[in-house]
Amino acid sequence: MRKTVIATFIASALISFSANASDLLQIYKEALSNDAQFNSARASKVAGQERFAQSRATTILPQMSASIDSSYTQSRLDPAIGPTINKSINANSLNLQLSQTLFNFGVWQSYEMGKLSLVASDMQFNFAQQDLILRVAQAYFDVLAAQNNLKTLEAQKVAISEQLASAKRNFEVGTQTITDTHEAQSSFDSISAAVFAAQGDLEVRTAALRQIIGKDAGDLAILKEGVQINPPMPAKMNDWVSTAEEQNIGVGLSRISLEMAQRGIKLNRSAYLPSVNLGVNASRSPVKTPDMNSTSIGVAVHIPLYTGLATDSRVREAIANEDKARSDLETSRRGAAQNARQAYIGVVNGLAQVKAFEAAIISSQSALDSTKLGYQVGVRINIDVLNAQQRLSNTQQSLARARYDSIMNGLRLKAAAGTLKEDDLSEVNALLAH
């Protein structure tokens, strides 16, 4: 009877969380619009696109400007010199200037570096998307884990309270000692403290999710009963490691940094080379004289001769930056490979733990039932029942945590490989009870 009451209590609690609950994909959609960190990344992407447009405009595109000059001059001849003469002149002129770089190796390298910066900006936004998926999923399952922990402890508290009442009744009729009552009371006090701690943890986890989506998430959809989590595909760890070393976003950003450093060397070495610019100037004035209307077209060649060895120093600095970028790239590759290994091992071990805990729950439940029966017939004492209940509760919590960790490690594995997308979150969402 008691077993039925506890099971009904847990089931009704879980059903209340599932009815009209938000699922993982819905929470992610909310985060796409409301997460401040992701919105910052989106704005940075737009800013990066504008920086490239500015770089292109100031490096390879022509520059044109116009100026209009207007002046009024009045003159008067001194009467002591001759007859008084007043003369006024209105002078207006229009000047147009056009300049275009014909050859400047450094300018071209700056333009190419601007294109690389644009690619890096897009990569950083993709990284922010992957990070948002991981943060949302982690916060979501942290809330589910906290809810599961609280409900399990509350159910255990109900069972212990019944055991405490039973110990008190048996002591009153003289069939048990006061020790059994004290042990039951101690367990009840401990579980009560654990419930309070679990309530606080749930509030913290809920607040963390609220921080991401900017509002209360409400009830969340839970995992389906007996859900089966798929193992990693491909099945070999080395395949994931190889993919991570090539496609990880952090590796891609480091690769771009290396290419920019290499172009930085070329940019600084361009200071040794001449540059050629085209200039067009046109001036027009209402005064109809040849001197007042002119057009000139010219080509200017700039040849650097000596810069006080500053160019040599800048080239050496750029070479050092290239060495640094190459080392950073290797660090990124090794880090991505290590993250892929850890996530892969986490998934595989997590799935093995899930199977083990599922079997352990069956064994723990059987042990609890047997212990309760033994307690009723007098071959077991009260502390044996309490310990059996504790083992079952711990196993249930461990099973839930193993499932959540396996799912998260699966997402981290794809993030390490650089392939994590919203579709992967949809696959996880299918594991929830809607």
The DSSP line for 234-277 is S--HHHHHHHHHHH-HHHHHHHHHHHHHHHHHHHHHGGGS-EEE
Domains contained in the chain, number: 1
Q: pLDDT value at position 368?
A: 87
- The answer to whether residue 87 scores a pLDDT higher than 60 is no
Within-domain flag for 418: yes
Within-domain flag for 78: no
C-alpha span between 165 and 183 (Å, rounded): 12
Closest CA to 164 of 186, 190, 184: 184
Confidence of residue 80 (pLDDT cuts 50, 70, 90): low
Within-domain flag for 76: no
Within-domain flag for 79: no
C-alpha span between 247 and 117 (Å, rounded): 18
Q: pLDDT value at position 57?
A: 84
**Cβ 333 vs Cβ 294: under 8 Å:** no
Rounded mean pLDDT, 173-189: 78
Dihedral of the CA atoms 314, 315, 317, 323 (nearest 10)?
A: 160
Q: pLDDT value at position 318?
A: 94
Q: pLDDT value at position 83?
A: 55
Average confidence score pLDDT of the chain: 86
Within-domain flag for 24: yes
Within-domain flag for 101: yes
- The answer to whether residue 362 scores a pLDDT higher than 80 is yes
pLDDT tens string 275-300: 888 888 888 776 555 556 778 888 88
Rounded mean pLDDT, 104-114: 89
Within-domain flag for 82: no
Q: pLDDT value at position 156?
A: 84
Rounded to two decimals, the pTM is 0.82
For residue 46, the domain's CATH number is 1.20.1600.10
Domain around 330:
2-71+87-429
Closest CA to 108 of 269, 312, 321: 269
Within-domain flag for 378: yes
Confidence of residue 322 (pLDDT cuts 50, 70, 90): very high
C-alpha span between 355 and 395 (Å, rounded): 12
